[in-house]
Structure formats: structure tokens, C-alpha cells
Amino acid sequence: MNVEKVVRPDHAILHLKGEFDTIFCPLVEKEIEALLESGVQRVALNLRLTKFINSTALGAIVKARKRLSQAGGELVLSHPSPFVRDAIQKVGLDKIVRVFEDDRAAVAALSGTEPVEVGDDASVLFSFADEARRKKFGRSVGVGRLLAVDEHGLDFIVGGGETKVDVRSAASVLATGSSLAVKFRLPLYKRHNFFEIPSVVDSSTTSKEGTLQVRARFAEIKDEDRNAIRQFSEDMRFLKNQLREATGG
């Protein structure tokens, strides 16, 4: 395994490539210590090209997280390969270390600007200006479950539960780069009308549960809407932090 580093003043991304097993645990530990010595306490491990990981390496991740937390920082995981994702879910590591679909989301989390989880049964409606995509999808308007939002975009899930959605068809029309319009409301927010924003799909991932998770970036957004969503996000982050402190979580 080799390690490629991308170091910024406030964070670092370590790309682990190859097989992460017992032999290479000291190497990762050494890299973490070197970052701490340089003043970097927030680290993302990119595991996209990690073909294999064993229990010792999973333990090393927990150890690295603890070491960074003691220094006032954090460790998160980015873009795990299918093998790694399966391993961390089997042992419950994803309940201890936060896992993100890409480096953008991981870095946003480390900087405290990640999308705010909506935490409600809010819906997002999406539609396509392109007639070919509408025909391929089989309906003019799609419905998803809103997961998280910030002033740059939103995350939502299509399919699952009692919905009768062909996830493969949805994945084909919601592929990366697809243009669409999204329409949604924010729960517990004073504004009652819908946000309607032209967007572009940044990523879409099909889960084992048969759902499609989509990250859509706002392509055109009014200042009024951006400011409103930013305020909502800041308020929810503040509330979440206050609740965490109050419960010792």
C-alpha cells in the first residue's frame, strides 16, 4: 500500500492505495503523527482505491480517530471502496467514524460546513427540462426524500419503502452531470413556500437496500434563497451542537 497526501492549512486527505493490512498500520500511524506535529488535526482517509482491509487496520483507524480527537481534531473516511464499505458496516465502524461519499463532503464535515441533516419526512420534487430524460424516467415529476441541505446543494433518496420507483431507471436519468429542477420545503422554518432551484447532479449512488442517493448542486440560486438556506443551516448546526453539549454526546 502507498499513501498520497494532500495537505492544507486546516486539514489533510490521505489517499490509501492498495491493501491496508497489519503490515501497513505503522505507516498510517506515522503519517497521522507527522500531520499532528505540523499542526494539522483534521484528517480524511480516502479509501476509494483500498482493495482490502483487515481487522487490525480497522482497529488502526479507531486508534487514529482517538489520537486526533485527543488533539482537538477529527478523523473521517471518504469514498470507501465496496470491499472497505462492507467491512466497516459489518463491524459497525461507521457508527464510530463518519463516512462520506467523496472528499468534498468529507472536507466540508471537517470544517463544520457539511450539509445539515433535515431529520424529518420532508420531500423533494425533481423534474427534467430534457424531454428525453422525462420519457426515460416514465413520469414528469419524481419524488425523493430530503436528507440534508446547505446553501450549495442538497442530498435526497429516491426509492425504498412503499415507493414504486425503478431505481435503475432513476439512476440513468440522475447520473452525474444531469440537469434538473428541485422543489422542496424546509421543516421548522418560517418560510412556508417552496424553494425551486435549477440544479446539477454531482453524484448518485445505488445502495444495497435498492435506493438511490443523490447529491445535487445548485446551479442557479437567488441570493434570497441562498441566504435563507444558509441561515437555516447555521441555526440547525447551532441547535445540534447545543443538544450534543447538553447530553454529553
Instruction: Give the Cα separation of 39 and 192 in Å (integer).
Output: 45
Instruction: Give the Cα separation of 152 and 161 in Å (integer).
Output: 28
Q: What is the mean pLDDT of residues 195-220?
A: 89
Neighbours of 51 (CB within 10 A): 14
Res 21: pLDDT: 94
Q: Given a cut of 70, is residue 179 above it in pLDDT?
A: yes
Output the pTM of the full model: 0.54
Domains 2-111 and 116-229 share a fold: no
Locate cell 440547525: which residue? 236
Note the CATH architecture for domain 116-229: Beta Barrel (2.40)
Select, from the ranges 41-45, 142-146, 148-152, 168-172, the one with the highest average predicted confidence (pLDDT).
Answer: 41-45
- Boundaries of every domain in the chain: 2-111, 116-229
Please list the alpha-helical segments (H only) found in the chain.
25-37, 55-70, 82-91, 103-111, 131-137, 167-173, 223-247
Q: What is the mean pLDDT of residues 115-142?
A: 79
Class of domain 2-111: alpha beta
Which of 47, 54, 172 minimizes the C-alpha distance to 106?
47
C-alpha pair distances (Å), 38 with each of 11, 98, 173:
11, 24, 45
Res 37: pLDDT: 95
